[in-house]
Amino acid sequence: MSRLCLALCLLHVALCIPAGADQYPRQPGIDVERYVFRLELAEGTREIRGEADIYLVFKADGVSEVFLDLIAAKAGAAGGMVVSSVADAGGSVGYVHEGDRLRVKLGTPGNRGSRRRLTVSYAGVAADGLLIGPNKHGDLVFFGDNFPNRARQWLPVLDHPSDKAAVEVAITAPEAYQVVAPGLLVENTNLPGNRRLTRYRESVPITTYCMVIGVGRFAMEAIGQVGGAPVQSWVYPQERDAGFRDFRIALRPMELFSWRVGPYPYEKLANVQSKTRWGGMENASVIFYREGVVTGKGTNEGLFAHEIAHQWFGDSVTESDWDHTWLSEGFATYFTHVYQEYTAGRDAMARGLRRDRENVIAYFAKNPASAIVTPATVSLDNILSTNSYQKGGWFLHMLRRLVGDEAFWRGVSTYYARYRDGNALTDDFRRVMEEASNQPLEAFFRQWVYAPGQPTLSGTWTWAGGVLTVNIRQVQAGDTTYDTALDIGIVAAPGQAPSVQAVRLDRREQSFSFPLDKEPSGVVLDPNVWLLMQAGEFTRK
């Protein structure tokens, strides 16, 4: 992956194409609006034959070339694609396929606002990105597994989340196989030679990493609808009963998030047992789960909640630069906790948050310079870090505490409504939350999102003469002094729930006094799990 990054950086310099913080060379002169992929799959070969229509709109005048990402076949390489022709509006045009980029010379330059269709014909073996092989039952299956930048292994695309597009796939495969893909099923035709043509159309723009297919023997069950979108379970037929039972859980997170955030963004949701390399992969409207997801005991509810939350955050509202991956993973992590909160209660949520907090602290100990957003060090190797997931989730939790439930949920809904089917960056989210809460949040975002670390709190408490005095010290290494709310929990008697006094920390050492008639049995910091803090020594003096 680092070698690829180097190649892209060099290309970026050579072509003077502006790049984002993640160094992907942007093409501001074009926007892909829709892809149509026609693919032929067969038994007994790993070769695929493909034709891709790329419908684009020009965003500038005089655009004479277009670059697409597509891994090229090379001597000694395990796979790669060979392009046989490229057409511009039906007429053959020149192209160069080098460095895993397909440089297309347009027949005539494109001007702002005009549209064009390019057609790329190609064939080859995908070394990655399209997994072809036996599943756990020995049946041949084909699964796209594109995240983060592996669509280019088998599809000619502008392979970056900032360019989302509608997509249609037309798969010709052996007749015995079913096909699942993003969007609605629009054709299912038996062809001569025991083959079958299946077409799906996704009319909502999605990222290329979500443009996948699943082809094989499946058992499919329609389990209901949420907001008019059919919800389906696709499992291996050998695991039909257990799989159908497990996958019915999908309706609950869909209903919760539709209510909390806004309408489900796609025309359907298929939950699919698959060979994805991830635990689950949130492909828009067609989530792929790992093969072992079926247990028959409903043990993967959190995984379903996580991937389903991604349909809103990551899939529908997508980070436009990879270093803002927390806008996808942090949200999915937090919404899994929210799902717990609603279905199992606040204590269950707090258990998950405590576990995440331990992970964040441990990760920070090993990566003391790494923040949730660290543009200088972004690479595709480290976007899926504890910072993107657990610290991103914790940030949302603390933001909710800061602005209050009502403003938080109003802001999250507005953020979704405003950036639905599009892209956003952290500042876009901040601005929406500032509007919703009517308070400036720049310092809060700077402290938690753009700076590494968290406070370590130590201190003492005393009770004398009807007054409880709590002394708190911020003892974390470095110069940072945190400005944050802290709950002090006062336990009247052993076993009782603490009563809470909220204070504001903004200095290295502070004392707080509370009138208290009776001597408390204990004092605890952050009893309700609202602060990302490392616990130092806190004792009675």
195-208: b (≥16 Cβ within 10 Å) or e: bbbbbbbbebbbbb
Compare residues 294 and 332 and give the one whose CB is closer to Zn ion.
332
Burial of residue 369 (number of CB atoms within 10 Å: 0-12, 13-18, 19+): exposed
Q: Provide the CA 117 distance to its chain's centre, in angstroms.
A: 30
**Minimum distance from CB of 329 to Zn ion (Å)?**
5
User: By CB under 5 A, which span of 94-102, 139-147, 328-336, 516-524 interacts with Zn ion?
Assistant: 328-336
The site for Zn ion, by CB under 5 A, has a size of 2
Sign, CA dihedral 318-319-321-323, equals negative
Supply the minimum distance, in Å, between the C-beta of residue 316 and Zn ion. Answer: 14
Rounded-to-integer distance, Cα 67 and Cα 27, Å: 8
The distance of closest approach from Cβ of residue 321 to Zn ion in the complex, given in angstroms and rounded to an integer, is 17
CB of 377 to Zn ion, least distance (A): 21
Burial-class residue 466 by CB neighbours within 10 Å (0-12, 13-18, 19+): exposed
Cβ distance to Zn ion smaller for residue 293 or 457:
293
Tell me the closest approach of the beta carbon of residue 445 to Zn ion, in angstroms: 21
Angstrom distance (rounded) from CA 361 to CA 282: 27
C-alpha–C-alpha distance, residues 372 and 389, integer Å? 9
Does position 48 interact with Zn ion (CB under 5 A)? The reply is no
Pairing of strands 165-174, 30-40: parallel
Q: Which of 21, 19, 80, 81 is nearest to 52 (CA)?
A: 81
Of 244 and 304, which has the nearer Cβ to Zn ion?
Answer: 304
Whole-number minimum distance, CB 138 to Zn ion, in Å? 30
332/532 with CB nearer Zn ion:
332
Question: In this chain, which stretch among 67-75, 268-276, 332-340, 354-362 interacts with Zn ion, using CB under 5 A?
Answer: 332-340
The full 3-state SS of 339-394, as one line of letters, equals: HHHHHHCHHHHHHHHHHHHHHHHHHHHHCCCCCCCCHHHCCCCCCCCCHHHHHHHH
Provide the mask over 288-327, with x wherever binding to Zn ion is found by CB under 5 A and - wherever it is not: ----------------------------------------
Smallest separation (angstroms) from Zn ion to the CB of 237: 28
> Contact, 50 vs 39, CB < 8 A?
yes
Least separation, in Å, of the C-beta of 132 and Zn ion?
25
Phi and psi at residue 324, to the nearest 5°: -105, 30
Return the number of the residue (125 or 332) whose C-beta is nearest Zn ion: 332
Select 303 or 451, whichever has its Cβ closest to Zn ion.
303
For the bound state, the minimum distance from the C-beta of residue 193 to Zn ion, rounded and expressed in Å, comes to: 40
Subset of 76-115 contacting Zn ion (CB under 5 A): none
Tell me the C-alpha distance between 100 and 81, whole Å. 9
Of the candidates 102, 68, 23, 26, the residue with the CA atom closest to the CA atom of residue 380? 23
Told to check if 281 binds Zn ion by CB under 5 A, we report no
Minimum gap (Å) between residue 62 Cβ and Zn ion = 41
Binding piece for Zn ion, criterion CB under 5 A, among 331-339, 447-455, 512-520, 533-541: 331-339
Which H/E stretch holds residue 197? strand 195-206
Smallest distance from Zn ion to CB 279, Å: 9
Q: Report CA-CA distances (Å) from 362 to 355, 380, 400, 445.
A: 11, 21, 24, 22
Contact 21, 323 (CB under 8 A): yes
Our CB check for Zn ion shows the closer of 236 and 264 to be 264
What residue number has its CB nearest to Zn ion? 332
- Rounded CA separation 479/451 (Å): 12
Q: Which of 94, 92, 32, 26 is nearest to 65 (CA)?
A: 94
Q: At its nearest, how many Å lie between Zn ion and the CB of residue 308?
A: 10
Please state the φ and ψ torsions of residue 483, each to the nearest 5 degrees: -110, 105
Question: Least distance from C-beta 306 to Zn ion, angstroms?
Answer: 6
- Listed in sequence order, the residues at least 6 apart from 159 whose beta carbon sits closer than 8 Å to its beta carbon are 69, 149, 151, 152, 208, 209
**332 makes contact with Zn ion (CB under 5 A):** yes
Least separation in angstroms between residue 207's CB and Zn ion is: 13
What values do phi and psi take at 222, rounded to 5?
-85, 120
Is 124 or 148 the residue whose CB approaches Zn ion more closely?
A: 148
- Could you tell me the two tokens for 406? 């009502």
> What H or E segment, with its residue span, contains residue 306?
helix 301-312
Site residues, Zn ion (CB under 5 A):
329, 332
